Each structure stands twice: as C-alpha cells, then as structure tokens.
Amino acid sequence: MFDFLEGYDLLGAFWVTVKLTLLSAVGSLIWGTVLAAMRVGPVPLMRGFGTAYVNIVRNIPLTVIILFASLGLNQTLNVTLGGGDDFDVINFRLAVLGLIVYTSAFVCEAIRSGINTVPVGQAEAARAIGLNFFQVLRLVVLPQAFRSVIGPLANVLIALTKNTTVAAAIGVAEAATLMKEMIENEAQLILISAVFAFGFVVLTLPVGLVLGWVSKKVAVKR
Amino acid sequence: MTKVSVAKVDSAPTDELVVLKSVNKHFGALHVLQDIDLTIGRGEVVVVIGPSGSGKSTLCRTINRLETIDSGTITIDGKPLPQEGKELARLRADVGMVFQSFNLFAHKTVLENVMLGQVKVRKTDKKTAAEKARSLLDRVGVGTQADKYPAQLSGGQQQRVAIARALAMGPKVMLFDEPTSALDPEMINEVLEVMQQLAREGMTMVVVTHEMGFARSAANRVVFMADGRIVEQATPDQFFSNPRSDRAKDFLSKILHH
C-alpha cells in the first residue's frame, strides 16, 4: 500500500523542515524579544520602529517575504548569506531569514502581551532598587512575561512549523517540496497528502502538549 | 486654603537630606502637587498624612522619581534628582522604597529578592549578598522564610521582606508609601514594629500612612496634606492635640473619634 514511498527521502525532507523550524524559531525568539523590548522602551524612535515593523511585516503574506528574499535579496542584490555558489544552502538560509523576519512580528506581540500581564509594581520595585531599564526588563519583567506567554508562543511555533512549507516556493528541499514532487510522479494523491499531514501532526502535536505542560509548571504565582 | 508656613519644627537634625522646592505636578487637569516645599533632615522621621487624593503618595513617589514633576526641584543629599538614565538608577539605589502592595519579585525567592539589588546594582559578590540578606531577613523576623516564594507568605511577612530588600541597598533614606494599607489588621503591627525599630536606629524615613499611632510614637514631624498642598507641619504632639488649620481639625475629628 505504501509502495509509492519507495525512492523518496521522506525523513530527509522532514529533517529539513525541522531544521528550518528550529533555526527560525531561535532567530525569531531573539529578534521578537528585541522588538518587544523596543516597543515597551523609553526611546520614542525605537518604539516607533517596533510598532511600524510589527504592523507592516505581519500584514505581508509570508510567500511575498520569502520570494522577496530570493528574488530581491539574492538575485537582485546578490546577498548570499555566506552560502557561496551553493543554491541549496543559499535558499535554505534565505528561507530561514524570511521566516525569522515574519515570525518575529508575532513573537513580539505575544511577548508584549506577556509584559502587559506583569503588574506595573514589579517594574517600579525593580527601578526603585536602582536597576536600569535593561536590568528591569531582563531580570524582572521578561522572566515573568515569558512564563505567561508559553502557551501563545507554542501557537506561534506550531504556525511556524507549518509555515516552513512556504520555503518550497524558493526550492528548499523540505517536506512540501517533496510532496509536490511525489504528487506529480505518483497516483496515490490522497495517501500522499495524508502521509504529509500525518508528518506535520507528529511534529507539532508534541510541541503543543509539552509546552502546555511547561506553561503550567513555570507559571508565576501571585 | 491657607498655607501655613512653618519654620522648621524639628530641633535636632539640621543636615538636610531631602529638599523639595516649589514642586508642582499635574495629572491631566488635576493639580496634584501644588508648590510643595519640604525639607527632610538626616535621621528625621517624617510622617505624611491627609485625606485620600491629597497627593501624599504622589509626593512620596516623586522623591525617587517614580513620578516625574512638572516644575520645581528635588535634591537628595545635595544632588539634584537626575533625568532618566544611569545617574537616576544610582540615586534610586540610595533611596529605599516600600510600596503599599509589597511588589516583591514574584518569580524569585525571598532570599533572591533581597539579594538582587546587592548583586546587580552594588556588584556585591553572591556569598556576601546572601549573608547580608539572611541577616536582614532575621532582623525583620522572616529569616525562616528565606527559600519560599512571595506568594507563599502572608502580607505582613511580604511587607517585611520588602523592607529588608530596600535596606539591603544601604539606603540614605527610606520612603514608605502606605506600607500597611493593604494588610489585614492583625498584620499591621508586625510591620509597624519593624518600622519603629528602624526609626529608633536613626534611619531617615518618609512615611505616608493612615496609622496615627505610628505617627504619634515614631515621627519627629507630621506633615498634613490636603488637595495637593502641605497645609500644616508640626511635631506629632502639637499636631494631634492642637492642630492649627481648620482642614486638619476637620480631618482629625473624622478619624480620631472612634
């Protein structure tokens, strides 16, 4: 029944999906946190930048961002991200860049909503003992904010996992690219879709469950 | 409203630690602080009382610039209050603050709460900071709770930890913003006792409170505020037995008659 899978590197393709997801997740967590810090910071210019970034980026389709990375950055501006002549490497890195640019807008908003759940007195007390803005954020506000947004961040991570399929648009050899190839070559369309759907559920279901458990575990008691 | 200007009532300390000069602040249309002049001497305990909305909490919070002011000057130990930034952070470390709602860092243990400022602001090494934290926690009577989280403590215990956290910075002056107002009645005394002890040890204190008993027993001076102004300043004895302004008489008649 599953003969059609022969000759295809299914695991390899999903491994690329996993790599895209993990690298983009780490990148967008960092950049998203920086953006959130800008949005709550005291400097109007940074606040403006953070707000503009989020509102522009989250309203552009991911496909457009990924295509821009390839057509705009790479083919027009010759950005290779250190990939040399290897188009597989370059496209993979461009896809990660695009996913980070896009996902960080959502991470930023999740974290910002988390920051809003931290009572203002926490930051006041931190300032009152002489901590500066970054220390207040890093030592007192963000640790509490992160704990309250693990659930929403899990949602972002699941969305990101599925969004990696957009990288197929610029030829990254991840799961969706392989699925397209198989659909062209094989007859079992429904089975092929089912296999890939199953693959993504296997990736994302545990993420939701584990992070849901972590979220309860680290919740700040008030 | 008559503004009673009072020559400095207090006899002993002449060394001026906190000086506010014609401080004004608005919250939108509300003129919450109106031409406030107040001098607090080193070692002095000043209790600020007055009806709700009189601006006393705001006054307290302007001293470490948790509230900005619109005009006037505030100096602490001869230095004007700096703008936002490194200088301000350094100054805040010298001004201890205790809040009505405790504001202990909810994700840190009691010990970590008292260590944080020492380690991150004063750059004390962790071992020394922990020792100092433990001895301060002992001093305020919550030494056995050091490894618990704030949410596991009673309000009175949390507030005493908050006092220890402020003391850990070695402040020049301590600000208390209604420190007992959020407490259950049976916990008020344990906090007041710690404050009494601090006052006896010579700590400079500005205390916004509704605890008239504390004002009587621990204050060098009572500052009475109403409608954004300092209406009257006097020693506790003078103020409670013989208030001069009508506003203060009215206020006292409402709170002391039962």
Q: What is the mean pLDDT of residues A144-151?
A: 94
Shortest distance between the Cα of B233 and any Cα of chain A, in A, equals 27
Residues of A within 8 A of B86 (CB-CB) are: 132
ipTM of this complex prediction, to 2 decimal places? 0.88
Q: Quick one: pLDDT band at residue B208, thresholds 50, 70, 90?
A: very high
| Residue B258: predicted pLDDT | 55
Which domains, from first to last, does chain A contain?
3-218 (1.10.3720.10)
List all residues 6 or more positions away from A12 whose beta carbon is below 8 Å from its beta carbon: A173
- Mutation choice for B interface testing from A43, A127, A129 by most B CBs within 10 A: A129
Specify the DSSP class assigned to residue B70: S
pTM: 0.86
| Neighbour count for residue A46 (Cβ, 10 Å) | 16
Segment A12-68, tens digit of pLDDT: 899 999 999 999 999 999 999 999 999 999 899 999 999 999 999 999 999 999 999
3-state secondary structure of A42: coil
User: What share of chain A in percent tops pLDDT 70?
Assistant: 100
Residue B13 CA from chain centroid, whole number: 18
| Assigned token pair, B29 | 């249309």
List all residues 6 or more positions away from A158 whose beta carbon is below 8 Å from its beta carbon: A204, A207, A208
Report the DSSP pairing between strands B45-49 and B221-226: parallel
Shortest distance between the Cα of B248 and any Cα of chain A, in A, equals 31
Q: What is the mean pLDDT of residues B148-154?
A: 95
Residues of A within 8 A of B94 (CB-CB) are: 130
Q: What is the mean pLDDT of residues A124-131?
A: 95
The chain-wide mean pLDDT, for chain A, equals: 92
Closest CA to B61 of A134, A132, A121, A131: A121
Segment B24-60, tens digit of pLDDT: 999 999 999 999 999 999 999 999 999 988 999 999 9
Q: What is the mean pLDDT of residues A191-200?
A: 92
| Residue B13: predicted pLDDT | 46
| Assigned token pair, A96 | 């990660």
- Mutation choice for A interface testing from B103, B152, B153 by most A CBs within 10 A: B103
On the question of pLDDT at B12 being above 50, the answer is no
DSSP secondary structure letters along B168-182: TT--SEEEEESTTTT
More confident residue, B100 or A42: B100
Shortest distance between the Cα of B24 and any Cα of chain A, in A, equals 22
Residues of B within 8 A of A42 (CB-CB) are: 84
Chain B residue with minimum CA distance to A135:
B120
